[in-house]
């Protein structure tokens, strides 16, 4: 279901390539996460190409996708024409409410960059985005805000509203925060899942904060 009519490249394919290169060059594999942040989690196609960022969406797990490719995937999934062996399983994506538009700032070299601090992603840094606005920026900014407002890091609903440091749209600690997590880091998975669970079970909304459909 790729652009050329072939099968979609999987994220694990990219991991395998980097693992092989690592064995040959003895370079640390910690750069893998940065590389995965620059490609679509569904197709491994570049998110930044020819000096321009493409339309990007993200799910509650913190994975990035090319919007066009994910919409195509969703249409095929609904029509029953999706090849099971050709694509990774995305059981949590069944409608438009399961992903949101995110706004990534790129460096000229195609690295995710914080629009506020102007610092680029490194293997040791973490980036996040906010559900209400989709702005992507360094988690260091939120950590500073969290410390200043005395927000418990592990509490989904701290009942504290802040302004996005990039666009000033309001968001709530912590359930409006999603950590970018292309490599499925366990700690980040727990944080994102905990906040998503609060949205669905307490607020009765989905990832895009739209009311959940009642099950028949």
| Residue closest to 183 by CA, chosen among 5, 29, 53 | 29
Three-state secondary structure of 16-69: HHHHHHHHHHCCCHHHHHHHHCCECCCCCCECEECCEECCEEECCCCCEEEHHH
Comparing 54-58, 146-150, 162-166, the range with the smallest average pLDDT is 146-150
Does residue 205 carry a pLDDT above 60?
A: yes
Give residues with Cβ within 8 angstroms of 54, minimum separation 6: 46, 47, 48, 66, 67, 68
- Residues 33 and 77: their CA atoms lie apart, in Å, by 28
Average pLDDT of every residue of the chain: 82
| Residue 153, pLDDT score | 80
Q: What is the pLDDT of residues 122-134, one digit of tens each?
A: 888 899 999 999 9
Does residue 84 carry a pLDDT above 90?
A: no
Q: What is the pLDDT of residues 166-192, one digit of tens each?
A: 999 999 999 999 999 987 889 999 999
Does residue 20 carry a pLDDT above 80?
A: no
Give the start-to-end residue ranges of the domains of the chain: 11-203
| Residue 7, pLDDT score | 38
| Residue 164, pLDDT score | 96
| Residue 87, pLDDT score | 57
* pTM (two decimals): 0.81
- Residue 100: strand pairing partners: 58
Does residue 19 carry a pLDDT above 70?
A: no
Q: Which two tokens stand for residue 98?
A: 């399961």
Evaluate the omega torsion of the peptide bond into residue 166 and state whether it is cis, within 30 degrees of 0.
no
């Amino acid at each position: 279901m790729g652009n050329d009519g072939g099968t979609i490249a999987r994220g694990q394919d990219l991991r395998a390539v980097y693992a092989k290169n690592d064995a040959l060059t003895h370079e640390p594999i910690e750069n893998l996460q940065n590389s995965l942040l620059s490609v679509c989690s569904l197709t491994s196609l570049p998110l930044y190409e020819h000096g321009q960022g493409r339309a990007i969406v993200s799910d509650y797990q913190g994975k990035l996708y090319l919007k066009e490719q994910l919409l195509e995937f969703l249409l095929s999934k609904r029509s029953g024409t999706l090849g099971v062996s050709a694509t990774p399983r995305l059981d949590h994506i069944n409608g438009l409410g399961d992903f949101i538009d995110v706004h990534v700032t790129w460096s000229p070299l195609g690295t995710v960059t914080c629009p506020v601090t102007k610092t680029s992603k490194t293997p040791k840094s973490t980036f996040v985005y906010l559900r209400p606005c989709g702005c992507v920026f360094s988690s260091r900014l939120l950590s500073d805000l969290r410390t200043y407002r005395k927000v418990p890091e592990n509490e989904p609903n701290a009942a504290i509203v802040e302004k996005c440091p990039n666009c000033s749209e309001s968001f709530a600690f912590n359930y409006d925060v999603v950590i970018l997590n292309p490599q499925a880091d366990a700690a980040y998975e727990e944080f994102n899942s905990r906040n998503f669970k609060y949205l669905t079970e307490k607020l009765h909304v989905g990832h895009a904060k739209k009311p959940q459909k009642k099950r028949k």
